[in-house]
A and B are shown apart, each in its own frame.
Chain A
Amino acid sequence: MIVISNLHVLVDGKAILRGLDLTINPGEVHAIMGPNGAGKSTLSHVLAGRDGYEVTEGSISYFGKDLLAMEPEERAREGLFLAFQYPVEIPGVANATFLKAAVNAVRRHRGMAELDAMDFLKSAKAKMKALKMDQKFLQRAVNVGFSGGEKKRNEIFQMAMLEPRFAVLDETDSGLDIDALRIVSDGVNSLRGPDRSILMITHYQRLLDYVKPDIVHVLAQGRIVRSGGPELALELEEHGYGDIAQPAA
């Protein structure tokens, strides 16, 4: 279970999250929607442990552990995965090298034997096939020269390899073509299970047609201002954020 309570976060001295509460149970899929600049990516970065975000109040409990006390790599090894809104390009490091290092870091942490090159390739190729990714991407430098959609698909490929228990997808649907959206959604759905939690940040109802969320939240002015079932997304699609996202008088 992931419990975020009363989270306050400053970025560059500016209050971005202001008392955010959110609880996600194992097996649940939550969606967060909200206007540009509301703080959705900020939340995802704070969850992943990025520098430059000052938590001034509140806590995040991650399966009973104090998430905020953990290093980013420790969080990842404990099964937290962030699919970046803007995946980083790493010239000179092959996708395979990067991912093998990641998979083995996680396996070591879990007390599992490291994968050798053969086993890694076998597993990687199977997952790529499911995501209809060309195997050439393994030898290419991480995200370098990838199209927007290819980068997003690569994030989902990494997620499939790392088998997280809490996945945060920050606008993974943006930039995907219609077919890619379906493929990526299938990838996310195949990860669903009673022990896994998923938090999807999105602007579009369409993704939620493919990956049915249990709960939809609206993040505005730094907190969750409304939560509801999947029908909330439909309502937002129709009426926009309107009153819900307006600063309280």
Chain B
Amino acid sequence: MATSPSRRPDAMAANTAIAQAAPQLAGYAALRGRLPGAALPWLGAAREGNIERFAAAGFPSHRLEAWKFTRLSGLADAAPAEGAPEPSTLPAFESIPTAHRLVFVNGRFRGDLSDLGHLPGNVAVIDLAQALAGDDAGWLEPFLAEPFEDRARSLAALNGARADHGLAIRLGAGAVIDPVHIVFAADASAGSFALHPRTVIVAEDGASASVLISHVGRGDGAYWSNPVVQARVGQHAVLRLYKHQDEGAVAHHTAFTSVDLAGHGCFHAATLGLGGQLARDEIAVRLGGPDAECRLGAASLARGRQLLDATWRLSHDHRGGNSSQLFKSVADDMGHVVFQGAVNVAVDAQKTDAQQLCRHLLLSDQAAADTKPELEILADDVKCSHGATIGDLDPASLFYFQARGIGIDQARALLVAAHLREPLDQIEAEPIRNFLLAALGRALGHQVEDASA
């Protein structure tokens, strides 16, 4: 008898996966006809393809290597599938006064709260539904029709089907825009619902853009935000993409960002992770041409029972690429921080320079941090390094503060801010840097000053 002992549990797992996916399939079916671009046959087909991929894979299980430390079972068992209702109150959010601003509340584009101001020439910043209603929606096809095949990215596939709101930014060759602030706000007092925003950014050759995306949730509803961002950066173009994750206290946030860099293209990203019960921020960057540059940074602050996961994958596919990853975290209370940083260097990607650094601070006995660096290097003439530390605040530093009259609580707060601000200090776009430092200061309950002032 060739009965596999694992067969029953597998079958049970499969049944669970089907049961968990079913409400999502129904939710999609109910909305299908009303989604943006419903009249476009290619888009309809793409949505159908992605819902099938999600149906086949279900919610990612922690048995997948990419989800090893982050259990989604809490979300999978009760993931909302309905679209968001009208907000009952407008959630409070901060914005950058000088920025071109686009605001969505509960998945609805809000022209009244947006202010695109005067857009520079050769730049479009447009609500997704509007973009898809126009005559030249074709340029969006390579992005919106992308099949998310990887089982570990089944939630991106679900966004691929749902994509119920979002925006597109398109910079023609040599165009410049700085800064753009996108706000996805949620009024969670309305209960539980799902948001599947989709953002597409294209910077043609030589273009340059600084974009901040805020995810802000107010109220104590258990909503789920599942954003996907796709960006293409042309030759000698620069995209600076920053993120302010401040979802509601019991919200789930599962984000997937994919970026494709052409030769000499440059991508800088920094994320401030503050909110959510569980937040996963996955970023995949392909250095798809020679001499491309990618710089990723993140500061995560996990308190209470928060789990904050940053999962990055850099693919150096061509020679001369340069990448750096800087991840800083603080976990307090029963907070849990996860960092997974993968770097793949293809056999032809000679002269690659890839650096990775991960520093966790644990402020309580029950806080936890996981780190998984993954380096797969097939080229031989490369410079790759990675480092990881987990620790408490340095006693010698604390004493130095105390010896100057500064109380222990203020000393700790200043050192925590100092630890977390490093990736934010690297942000070149000054209004965005100041915005995120201020947001960090509010989260820590004191001012974090701009060191370069």
Interface residues of A (CB under 8 A from B): 48-51, 71-73, 76-77, 82, 84, 87-88, 90-94, 96-99, 101-102, 105-106, 109, 139, 141-142, 158, 162
Identify the closest chain A residue to B420 (Cβ): A92
Residue pair B396, A88 in contact (C-beta under 8 Å):
yes
Does B395 sit within 8 A of A, measured CB to CB? Answer: yes
Q: Which residues of A contact B2 (CB under 8 A)?
A: none
Identify the closest chain B residue to A95 (Cβ): B451
A76-B402 contact in complex given A94-B449, A94-B451, C-beta closer than 8 Å: yes
Residue pair B399, A101 in contact (C-beta under 8 Å):
no
A50–B422 CA distance with the chains assembled, in angstroms? 28
Residue pair B451, A102 in contact (C-beta under 8 Å):
no
Within 8 A of A (CB), among B393-448: 395-397, 399-408, 410, 414-415, 417-419, 421-422, 425
Say which residue of B397, B403, B422 sits within 8 Å of A48 (CB atoms): B403
- 26 A–B contacts, CB within 8 A, in A order: A48-B403, A51-B399, A71-B402, A71-B408, A72-B402, A72-B403, A73-B402, A73-B406, A76-B402, A76-B403, A88-B396, A90-B400, A90-B415, A92-B421, A92-B451, A93-B414, A97-B414, A97-B449, A98-B401, A99-B404, A101-B414, A105-B406, A105-B407, A109-B405, A139-B451, A141-B451
A211–B364 CA distance with the chains assembled, in angstroms? 47
Residue pair B453, A139 in contact (C-beta under 8 Å):
yes
Q: Which residues of A contact B395 (CB under 8 A)?
A: 51
A92-B422 contact in complex given A98-B414, A139-B452, C-beta closer than 8 Å: yes
CB distance from A232 to the nearest CB of B (A): 29
Q: Which residues of A contact B404 (CB under 8 A)?
A: 76, 98-99, 101-102, 105, 158, 162
CB distance from A72 to the nearest CB of B (A): 4
A50-B419 contact in complex given A73-B405, A93-B414, A94-B449, C-beta closer than 8 Å: no
CB distance from B124 to the nearest CB of A (A): 39
Q: Which residues of B contact A99 (CB under 8 A)?
A: 404
Identify the closest chain A residue to B453 (Cβ): A139
CB distance from A159 to the nearest CB of B (A): 10
CB distance from A48 to the nearest CB of B (A): 5
Q: Which residues of B contact A98 (CB under 8 A)?
A: 401, 404, 406, 414
A116–B90 CA distance with the chains assembled, in angstroms? 35
Q: Which residues of B contact A93 (CB under 8 A)?
A: 414-415, 417-418
Q: Which residues of A contact B421 (CB under 8 A)?
A: 92
CB distance from B328 to the nearest CB of A (A): 10
A90-B405 contact in complex given A97-B449, A139-B451, C-beta closer than 8 Å: no
A101-B410 contact in complex given A48-B403, A72-B399, C-beta closer than 8 Å: yes
Residue pair B449, A102 in contact (C-beta under 8 Å):
no
- List the 10 shortest-distance A-B pairs measured between CB atoms, nearest first: A92-B418, A76-B405, A102-B404, A72-B402, A88-B400, A105-B405, A73-B402, A77-B405, A106-B405, A93-B418
Q: Which residues of A contact B400 (CB under 8 A)?
A: 84, 87-88, 90, 142
Q: Which residues of B contact A51 (CB under 8 A)?
A: 395, 399
A82–B403 CA distance with the chains assembled, in angstroms? 7
| 6 new A-B contacts at CB < 8 Å, known A49-B403, A90-B400, A98-B406 | A90-B397, A91-B418, A92-B419, A97-B414, A98-B404, A99-B404
Residue pair A102, B422 in contact (C-beta under 8 Å):
no
Q: Which residues of A contact B408 (CB under 8 A)?
A: 71, 73
Q: Which residues of B contact A82 (CB under 8 A)?
A: 403
Identify the closest chain A residue to B451 (Cβ): A94
Identify the closest chain B residue to A83 (Cβ): B403
Residue pair A49, B449 in contact (C-beta under 8 Å):
no
CB distance from B239 to the nearest CB of A (A): 27
Which of A76, A93, A94, A158 has the most chain B CB atoms closer than 10 A to its own CB? A93
Identify the closest chain B residue to A139 (Cβ): B451
Q: Which residues of B contact A77 (CB under 8 A)?
A: 405
Residue pair B406, A88 in contact (C-beta under 8 Å):
no
A102–B419 CA distance with the chains assembled, in angstroms? 20
A94–B417 CA distance with the chains assembled, in angstroms? 11
Q: Which residues of B contact A109 (CB under 8 A)?
A: 405
